[in-house]
Amino acid sequence: MPRFGISFAFALALHIILVLLFILSFQPVPEMEKAGPEPEIIEATIVDGATIDAEVKRLKQEEENQRQAELQHQQQLEEEEARISEQQLLQQEKIRREAEAQKDREAAEKLAQAARAEQEKQAQLRAQQHAEEEKRMAAIREKRAQEEARQAEENQQQEQARQKQAEQQKKLQEQKADEARRQEQLQQAKAEKEKQLQAEKSRQAALLAEEKARQATDAAARAKAEKDKQLAVEKADKAEKAKQAAEAAAKARAEKDKQLAAEKAEKEKQAAEAAAKAKAEKDKQLAAEKAEKEKQAAEAAAKAKAEKDKQLAAEKAEKEKQAAEAAAKAKAEKEKQLAAEKAEKEKQAAEAAAKAKAEKEKQLAAEKAEKEKQAAEAAAKAEKERLAAEAAAAAKASEQASNAAKLAIARKVEGAWTRPMSATQGLKCTIQVKLLPSGDVMDAVVVSSSGDSVFDRSAENAVRKASPLPVPQDRNLFNQEFRVFTFIFNPNN
């Protein structure tokens, strides 16, 4: 419904009332057919055309005043809405700026975080390199300590070998001394054994001589007894008395001979024992003297040999010790020199590796920074191109939406337009329209007339009847192009 519908309806009703009054004022009085009660007198006022025109003019003036007041009110509302919209735009701009500032802060924070992360990464890398260097140095120190421990162990082993060799030499000397003592004891035992053998031989000889003497005595006694027995047998026949006398005499002689033989054997035995004892004593003395001489000679030889061996062993051990110490010292010096050269080479290699690694990391960092810079430039360029493309697309979309909205508005206005009877072909006019964001028409004024005021008024009425007009949903596009805009109303196009 148009904004001025109430005023228009009020004016229309007033016109209808005036027309009815005008018609009733010209109605003829009917004839009275018959007498009746006195008719009621009706007072009527005759209004002429000038009065009606004046009233219509007055009503139009009031309508115009009311329209002007409504226009002013609408303009005030529009200004208020524009102010509010401007404030909203300012607020939106402020929010957008705050959002952009927030984005910038977030981007700066991200860059700072990335820089901190890079610094932490570099710090971790340096710490890792330092740890690796410490680990390598610890490994070198440990290896050096192991080498020194190995060298000390080798020196200890060599010292133990020298001590063992000295102990072996000492043991060998002791064994030689023991061997000499054992030889001496063997010689003493041999001499003692020979002495015992000599004594045993002497005793055996004495026993043998005694046995021989006894056997000889026994043989002589048996021979004599046999002879006496034969004589006794021969004389047995002579007489018993002679036999008994002979037997008694024989027995007495036998006893006497036996006793003499025993005494002789005892004497021989004693003489043999004394001779054997004297010989044994002499042999023992000779053997003892010989053994003593041999023992003294052996001891002197063993002592001289032991002294010589000991001196030779001492000299040899001293030479070996000096040679071993010289070799160990030379080896230690050589190993120390080799270790120093190796450590220097490892240090130089480590420094070269660290320098190469640092150069490589620096180069990689530079390459990475260059790549990140190129990537950032490419991203910025892509973002700029994307924003430009989006802006172009948005502009194109806005233009398309604007054209489509203008075309839809023109069609809707043409659909709401009622052609006046006086309108001729080819008429057109330019109308300025003020809209609300909802599309409701606040005002429609012809700014370029067609030359026909009726056509112009019909065009304005068509705009108002077509309210609300199809406007774009994009508020920015509406504020830019459709809040106040002009379009050519050409129903013949």
pLDDT means per 10 residues in the chain (493 residues)?
66 84 65 48 54 74 80 78 73 73 73 76 78 77 78 78 80 79 79 78 75 74 75 70 72 80 80 78 81 82 82 84 85 86 88 88 89 89 88 84 88 89 86 91 91 90 90 86 88 75
Q: What is the pLDDT of residue 108?
A: 66
State the virtual CA torsion across 113, 114, 115, 119 in degrees, nearest 10. Answer: 100
For 198, residues 6+ apart whose C-beta sits below 8 A from its C-beta are 279, 280, 283, 284, 287
DSSP string, 199-232: HHHHHHHHHHHHHHHHHHHHHHHHHHHHHHHHHH
pTM of the model: 0.28
For 70, residues 6+ apart whose C-beta sits below 8 A from its C-beta are 3, 4
SS3 state of residue 450: coil
Peptide bond into 468 cis (omega under 30): yes
For 468, residues 6+ apart whose C-beta sits below 8 A from its C-beta are 438, 439, 440, 441
SS3 state of residue 488: strand
Under 8 Å between Cβ of 462 and 489: yes
Centre a 10 Å sphere on the Cβ of residue 202 and count the other Cβ atoms it contains: 20
Paired with 433 in beta bridges are 444, 485
SS3 state of residue 447: strand
Q: What is the pLDDT of residue 432?
A: 93
Cα torsion 14, 16, 21, 26: sign: positive
Q: What is the pLDDT of residue 33?
A: 43
Q: What is the pLDDT of residue 457?
A: 93
For 441, residues 6+ apart whose C-beta sits below 8 A from its C-beta are 3, 433, 434, 435, 463, 464, 466, 467, 468, 469
Q: What is the pLDDT of residue 448?
A: 92
